Amino acid sequence: MDVAEWNAMVNTDDEHYETRVRIVDGKEVKYALTIVWWD
């Protein structure tokens, strides 16, 4: 799974997932994933 696929999945999940990315050698790399569940 690449970043584009990951972002597409996350973005369609009603903000239950918050992802953080950083730029490494010109590429976006996911380095942390926080799962946020809203009651």
Distance of CA 30 to the CA centre of its chain: 6
In angstroms, the CA 5 to CA 27 distance is 14
Q: What is the per-residue pLDDT for 27?
A: 72
Q: What is the per-residue pLDDT across 1-39, written as a single tens digit (0 to 9) for each? A: 677 777 676 665 555 555 566 666 777 666 555 556 665
Q: What is the per-residue pLDDT for 25?
A: 74
In angstroms, the CA 2 to CA 16 distance is 20
Q: What is the pTM of this model?
A: 0.25
Q: What is the per-residue pLDDT for 10?
A: 67
Q: What is the CA radius of gyration of the chain?
A: 11
